[in-house]
Structure formats: C-alpha cells, structure tokens
Chain A
C-alpha cells in the first residue's frame, strides 16, 4: 500500500493510503507530487528544529564527542579550530 501526500491551508503535511480507504478525511487538502512533498517535508523538518529549545538546537549543532576527541588528540591547529567552533556555537545559543 503506497501513500499519497497532501498539504493543508497551513502547509501541514498529511499522508493517506492510495487505496482510497481514508479519502473521506482529505477534505480540501491539496495533493502533492513526490518532489513537492520532499521540498515541504524538508521545510517542515527545519521548522521543527527551529521550534526546539535552544539547548536542544545547540546540542544538534555541536560536533560529536568523537570529533571533539579526535581534534583534541590531534592537537595544534586542529584542536584550536575545534575549540573555536565549539565556542562559536555556544556563543550563538547563549543569546538565543
């Protein structure tokens, strides 16, 4: 059973089986092509991330612990760059 995707007046996304079993729920929603759905889904993903608390968004943006550990072990400019990156992210969300 495949899924056909729609958007409502607020651009919220909805999926219904293409066998017609839930067509009574479609109402005035607009049918999307696969390409349109992919674009809107990415947009809704960004909106969802933007709606998260600042500390969560900072965590999502922060380099992984493995990346930080490798930079620390590498030392030199690599460690300095990593530290600068971490500081920049913290500074970005400190004012959020």
Chain B
C-alpha cells in the first residue's frame, strides 16, 4: 500500500506498515516543510505572470525547496520579477489562510483554481493593492478578507484610506478641518435658525428670497446683474445703477450709467447731473450711453462701408454686437436677374430685374441683426458686395 495525501495541505499520510525504518524521515519532512511552513513559513513569490495569471506552486507531500510549494506557506510576499500590469494569483481549491504582503508594484487578486494548477476562478476573489499587507482566507472556492468586522472599539494610529463608501450610523466628531471636495449635502435649517448649523444652498436661497427690509448694507458695492430693482426711494441716497433697462424716477440718483428713461411710454435718455453728458432728453453723445456699447451699427458710431470679398449662395454670420447693413448685387449683361436674401435661413425678401438688354443687376440692401446668419442667393454671379460695419 502506498502513501496518500491530505486534501488541504497535501501532507503525506503513510500507509499502515509502510516505510519501515524510513517513516521517521517522511514524518519529519511533514513537520518541517508542511506543518511549520503552513503555520509560520515565509517566502517571497517572484511575480512573472502569463496572460496576467500566476499559479502558486504545489507538490504532494513535503519539499525542502520553498519555491516548489508556495501554496502551503503561511506568509507570502509578492515581489516583482517580470510584471507590468495588475495580475491574478491562483491558489489550490482548498481551505487555507494567508498573510500577503504585495510589493509587486501592481494590484494582485487572489482566486481559487477550479482544479489545482489551472487559472480558472472557482469563485470570488480578493484584491490586494500594491504595498498592502492583508490577511485573507479561502473556503476552497471564494477568497475573503479576514478582517471585515471589528467587535469592539477600533483605533487607527496612522492614516485611514477608504476606497469605497463610508456609512456612519452614529455621530462623527472632527477635530481637524473637513474638506468636502466632491460637494456635500445637509439638512436645511429653518429660516429663523441663527445657530452654527451648516447653511445649505436651499437655506441661502430661502433667506435671499425673503430679505424683507435691509436696514444696513455696509459693503462698498452691491452688484445686481439680473432681475429688477423696485420700490427704491429717497433723496440724495447715492444710488448707482449699472446697465439698467429702466430707471424710473431716478432723478435724485447721483449717477445713472447706461440708463434708458421710460417717460410714460416714450423712451428717451435723461441723464441729469452726470459730467460729460447732455441733460436734455433724447441725446446720446456717445455709444456708451446706450446699452453700454462702443458701436451701434449702421454708421451711427463711425462704421464705414467695407468690401469684404463675399459672394452669393454662401452663408455668412454677423459676429458683431451691433447690426450691419449689406448691399449686394448680382447678374450678367443682357439678361434678367433674380436675387433673394435670408436671415437665419428664412427668406426675407426677393427682387428680379430685367434690364432690357442693358447693364442689368439684381440688387438688395438689407440690415443684418447682431449674431445672426445671412445669405444672398442669386441667379448669376456676384457683381457688388459691400457691408457697413
């Protein structure tokens, strides 16, 4: 009768009556190279995976060469040999506990083989990041981390990094600063809450929407870029309004910038008491006094006719903040001409011209609003194209 081997550590089990006179050597080898190695043995495992998979070595019985029986050892350090990517490590499909120190430079994932020596995962794996020391165990099918629950208090002397989510049922206390780099949420305090609770965006918006009477504003400037200002009254209040579309009854303001005065439905510019501007209604001596623009278009503020080299049947874009005027002609000698223009793809007008054999040209002159596309389609080549900008 020959020896058999135990299922988990593959210990050589001597058949009864066998190995007369030599069984002591076999037994000692079991103690030294299997029991001792499985309890306290340490060795380095050079990582040189094939297709990112590496199998821990194994033998039946004991071996005095540690590298031939890596899978039986208690403590393994994964060291780089020929590795350039994350890899898997396959252990025999038997229950076992390991202490792993991964210094390979890459993340290792431990699996059980379905059959000892192969690289087919029998079940779930456990991931061990580079430079991590982990206690793991397997039931022969799935690998687990050994320490997923602390029964009593748990203290960390160094830093604590959590790759997943953190759920705290009780309260947390932070003595140092807390950085919420990904944003954070909180319950919204009541509007009347004047404690040290965190103000959420909802809280701020509720407060901002119900300011009521603001008796004192000590800031140097209050910049209101949208909405409207209503109910402002008082004399010599030093109110400054920037870019306001309507500033009604603001005669006592010391400064009105870019204001358009609505006088009972009649729009006029009424700037009183501002140096550099006329106080008479309907006068804008500078484009900056209207809508805050440097140019108003159409020749009002130094625009001039230009020949930009544009042509028919081609779309163009008015990228200016003011309207431009376009004058375009097309046609051939001795023939009628048809011409049309479009704003943002919509035909606005058309014209046909029959010169009765003379020098005939279809011509259109039109205004292009700011930031719009325009196009002139014609039945014959471009002869003139000028733009006022």
Q: Is the C-beta of B352 less than 8 angstroms from some C-beta in chain A?
A: yes
Q: Assuming A25-B317, A56-B352, is B379 touching A67 (CB within 8 A)? A: no
Q: A64-B356, A66-B356 are in contact. Are A2 and B309 (CB under 8 A)?
A: yes
Q: How far is the CA of A25 from the CA of B315 in the complex (A)?
A: 12
Do A64 and B334 touch (CB < 8 A)?
yes
User: 15 other contacts beyond A52-B379, A59-B336, A64-B334, with CB at 8 A cut-off?
Assistant: A5-B314, A13-B314, A14-B316, A15-B310, A15-B316, A17-B308, A41-B311, A45-B312, A48-B378, A49-B338, A60-B335, A60-B337, A60-B379, A64-B354, A64-B357
Of the candidates B311, B317, B356, B380, which one forms a contact with A22 in the assembled complex, judged by CB atoms under 8 Å apart? B317
Of listed B354, B355, B378, residue having the most chain A CB within 10 A: B354
Range of interface residues on chain A?
A: 20 to 34
Interface size class of B (residues with CB under 8 A): 20 to 34
**Docked CA distance A17–B357 (Å):** 36
Tell whether A66 pairs with B313 under 8 Å between CB atoms, given A45-B379, A60-B336. no
Check A52/B338 contact, CB under 8 A, given A60-B379, A66-B357. Answer: yes
Nearest-Cβ distance from residue A35 to partner chain B, whole angstroms: 14
Residues of B near A48 (CB, < 8 A) are 313, 377-379
B358 close to chain A: CB less than 8 A: yes
Q: Are A59 and B381 touching (Cβ within 8 A)?
A: no
The verdict on B319 contacting chain A, using a C-beta distance below 8 Å, is yes
A-B pairs under 8 A by CB, number? 75
Question: Which of chain B's residues have a CB closer than 8 A to the CB of A3?
Answer: 308-310, 316
Whose C-beta in chain B lies nearest to the C-beta of A51? B377
- CB of A62 within 8 A of CB of B336, answer yes
Provide the bound-state CA to CA distance between A45 and B362, in Å. 14
A45 touches B335 (CB 8 A): no
Q: Could you list some 16 contacts between A and B, CB below 8 A? A: A1-B308, A5-B314, A14-B314, A14-B315, A15-B310, A16-B317, A17-B308, A25-B317, A41-B313, A44-B313, A44-B314, A49-B338, A52-B338, A56-B338, A60-B335, A60-B379
Given A3-B309, A44-B313, A48-B379, A21 contacting B319 (CB threshold 8 A): yes
Closest to B377 in A: A48
Chain B 347-375: CB-based contact to A (< 8 A → 1; otherwise 0): 00000101111100000000000000000
Q: Give the Cβ gap from A48 to chain B, nearest Cβ, in Å.
A: 5
Nearest CB in chain B: distance from A61 CB, A? 9
| CB neighbours of B310 from chain A (8 A) | 3, 15
CB-CB contacts below 8 Å: B99-149 with A: none
Complex: chain B residue closest to A38, CB-CB = B311
How many Å lie between the Cα of A28 and that of B4 in the bound state? Answer: 74
